[in-house]
Amino acid sequence: MTNNILVLLDVSADGSLAPSSHELLGAAESLGTPVALLVGYSEHRNALAQAAADAGATKVLLADGDDGAYVVPVVDALAAAFELTKPDAVLAAHSDLSKEAVARLAVRVGCAVNVDAVNVTRDSEGVVAHHSAYGGAYTVASSATFGAPVITVRQGSIEARAGKQPLASEALTVASSNRKSATISSVTIADAPTTSRPELRGAKKVVSGGRGLGSAEKFELVEELADALGAAVGASRAAVDAGFVPQSFQVGQTGVQVSPNLYIALGISGAIQHKAGMQTSQTIIAINKDETAPIFEIADYGIVGDVFIVVPQLIAALKR
Amino acid sequence: MKIVVLVKEVPDTWGERLLDLETGLADRVSSERVIDEIVERGLEFAISFAEQNDGTEVIALSMASEEATGTLRKALAMGADRGVLIVDEALHGADITLTAQVLAAALEHIGFDLIVSGDQSTDGAGGVVPSAVAELLDIPQLPRLATVDLNEKEVTGAHVTDRITLSLSAPLPAMMSVSERFAEPRFPNFKGIMAAKKKPFEVLGIAELGKDISVLDRPRSIMTEIAGKPPRESGVKVIADENSGRDLAEFLKKNQLI
Ligand SMILES: Cc1cc2nc3c(=O)[nH]c(=O)nc-3n(C[C@H](O)[C@H](O)[C@H](O)COP(=O)(O)OP(=O)(O)OC[C@H]3O[C@@H](n4cnc5c(N)ncnc54)[C@H](O)[C@@H]3O)c2cc1C
Ligand SMILES: Cc1cc2nc3c(=O)[nH]c(=O)nc-3n(C[C@H](O)[C@H](O)[C@H](O)COP(=O)(O)OP(=O)(O)OC[C@H]3O[C@@H](n4cnc5c(N)ncnc54)[C@H](O)[C@@H]3O)c2cc1C
């Protein structure tokens, strides 16, 4: 055993280290020696490597990427890093690109995959991934029958943080696998949100709005309450489908799964698929004008009423 | 063109979904089984493409238990031309890598120009089976598309994440996965249901795929512990009046939530 934990790091749209890096390196430190891998972003490379060391990477492997090819260059780099570090486990965020990259690594080099872990631990037999299944109705632990497991970690789920390390970076030589990949013909980055609102993933407070808000303009009420509380903004799928907010706001089974201290649902009926993304929240508040709405079954405090009347009252009371 | 849609059978999300606390596997008996909702959108995409492009064959492929036959017939009733179901004792409780190996072998056996999958299932929800299949088959994959454009030679589409949209393209043969932003599936009509009864439906075991795949040949993911959480209970429910906002603010303060 090498005790190495290979950590694939994500980079945000603005070229900085993704927030998930801190939790991945925190988790890795609890298991062994965190070795980070960064692929591409050559223009930000030094700053990224420094940030990774600050977040706890004992070594940072730097590999060239290929801006024109989807995922395969990352898998090739992972395979080279895997060979070099012989890790006891591979950790990556359960983000679109990283989960695909590590799953491909797993079938390429022959590892078991444990997905969407909310925690990782180590016992005498190896690394164990802990999951929250079916919207938190079950907790499940999984591990690999043998060999190093590849584990994807749900973003915003791990509290542990690693201590700062001195920077030790190394260029990684990667042999191309020449496997076929989709071509990236263009990249469009949406403007950064102008507010200082917290990110939905991992937020401590969330205010979500549903179809009951009626329109994109009226959805501003949700944002107003969120800002009064310092909360992140979420939405139901119906609100996303209706175009009130972008898809990245969706909470639920097929959206973001959150577990904040406070979750406020406004004009959301509480369909089972919405509940699957928020029912592990510590305190749930619901405001809905239909007293039979299923959201009330899991709410700690429910108000049967019109959001356009109750929420302004609440905002006024909070400001007092 | 030959389009194979990867159809996963899952417990209906509208019902209570249970995991067996002994085996950790999805409890197939107690939950109603349906075609995964997002995959149905993939079927809709493939079938409407076939309706507009003569010479397109749509094949529904699934790995599941024998009982899934009924569920899969729905894909044929919607308009898929034939079904292939991989059933094998050795696949009970298959993990992601084993599932991917079997699907890849079945896809090689069937042949394809385009593979359509969902971006993530509603039960396992790992969302990585398609990538693992693409890796095993060495074909380009366009994951989690919001929009797509398909012709005889090429597939292009937009992959949307939090703030980044990637325009992706690949020559066929290729694989794409659809997201819930795709059009809703049609309901099978009476004619479709009757026609489905005559459509070819094959049930194959691993041996018939011409590949030697075993649960033991690679490391696998196993569940070592499972526990159910007691359902959440509801708290207070009040009818709104002019003091509701103030009362709620007090509740939040009292519980140190603000
Ligand atoms: C496979 C699958 C996956 C899904 N994944 C998700 C998911 O990830 N996230 C998700 O949210 N949904 C998901 N859904 C959709 C889900 O089933 C519901 O359709 C959706 O959550 C409904 O959103 P809603 O509560 O905003 O809308 P509705 O169910 O229409 O509810 C609107 C509510 O607003 C109330 N209301 C209206 N006006 C007011 C007012 N002025 N004041 C107060 N209350 C008012 C109404 O009483 C009603 O209860 C999924 C569905 C499927 C089948
Ligand atoms: C709660 C829970 C947690 C699990 N955790 C793990 C884990 O950590 N590691 C692990 O290895 N396994 C795990 N499994 C098992 C895993 O769900 C199964 O191996 C499953 O067959 C494939 O994974 P998925 O549901 O994540 O598929 P996804 O990758 O989410 O599915 C995406 C798409 O792939 C296609 N597809 C997937 N499976 C099939 C199929 N059987 N037939 C046809 N098409 C298909 C469909 O188009 C689907 O829309 C878990 C299962 C459950 C119920």
pLDDT exceeds cutoff 90 at B122? no
- For the stretch B220-235, pLDDT in tens is 999 999 998 888 888 9
Which range, of A117-121, B97-101, B159-163, averages the lowest pLDDT?
Answer: B159-163
The answer to whether A88 touches A4, Cβ cutoff 8 Å, is: yes
pLDDT exceeds cutoff 60 at A1? no
Domain residue extents for chain B: 2-209
Q: Which of residues 228-257 of B touch A (CB under 8 A)?
A: 228-229, 231-232, 234-240, 242, 244-246, 248-252, 255, 257
Nearest to B185 by CA among B114, B105, B79: B79
Whether A205-319 and A4-171 are alike in CATH topology: the answer is yes
- Torsional sign, CA B63, B68, B70, B74: negative
Give chain A positions within 8 Å (CB) of B13: 253, 272-273, 276
In our burial notation (b when 16+ CB lie closer than 10 A, e otherwise), range A139-158 reads bbbbbbeebbbbbbbbbbbb
Separation CA A39–CA A8 (nearest Å): 8
Strands (E), chain B: 2-6, 9-11, 33-35, 57-63, 82-86, 114-118, 141-150, 154-160, 164-171, 174-178, 201-204, 221-228, 236-239
Residue of chain A nearest B244, judged by CA positions: A310
The answer to whether A267 touches A242, Cβ cutoff 8 Å, is: no
- What number is the ipTM of this complex? 0.92
Ligand 2 centre to CA of B124 (Å) is: 5
Q: How confident is the model at residue B12 (pLDDT cuts 50, 70, 90)?
A: confident
Higher pLDDT, B33 or B98: B98
pLDDT at A147: 95
Q: How confident is the model at residue B30 (pLDDT cuts 50, 70, 90)?
A: low
- For the stretch B183-196, pLDDT in tens is 999 999 999 999 99
Q: How confident is the model at residue A263 (pLDDT cuts 50, 70, 90)?
A: very high
Q: Which residue has the tokens 């200082």?
A: A196
Q: Which CATH architecture has domain A4-171?
A: 3-Layer(aba) Sandwich (3.40)
- For the stretch A98-108, pLDDT in tens is 999 999 999 99
Helices (H), chain B: 37-52, 68-78, 96-110, 129-137, 190-196, 244-254
Separation CA A50–CA A30 (nearest Å): 21
- For the stretch A134-143, pLDDT in tens is 888 899 999 9
Ligand 1 centre to CA of A307 (Å) is: 15
Give chain B positions within 8 Å (CB) of A311: 245
Higher pLDDT, A43 or A307: A307
CATH number of B2-209: 3.40.50.620
Q: Count of CB atoms within 10 A of residue B66's CB?
A: 10
Pocket test for ligand 1, best of A245, A268, A297, A306 (most atoms within 8 A of CB): A268
pLDDT exceeds cutoff 90 at B128? yes
Domain residue extents for chain A: 4-171, 205-319
Distance of CA A239 to the CA centre of its chain: 21
Q: How confident is the model at residue A257 (pLDDT cuts 50, 70, 90)?
A: very high
- Measured from CB, residues less than 6 Å from any atom of ligand 1 are A 210-212, 236-239, 250-255, 267-269, 271, 273-274, 277, 287-290, 293, 306-308; B 13, 37, 122
Pairing of β B201-204 and β B82-86: parallel
Q: Is B19–A140 a contact, with Cβ atoms under 8 angstroms apart? A: yes
Nearest CA to ligand 2 atom 26: B126
May I ask the CATH class of domain A205-319?
alpha beta
Contact of B52 with chain A, judged by CB distance below 8 Å, is answered with: no
pLDDT at B28: 65
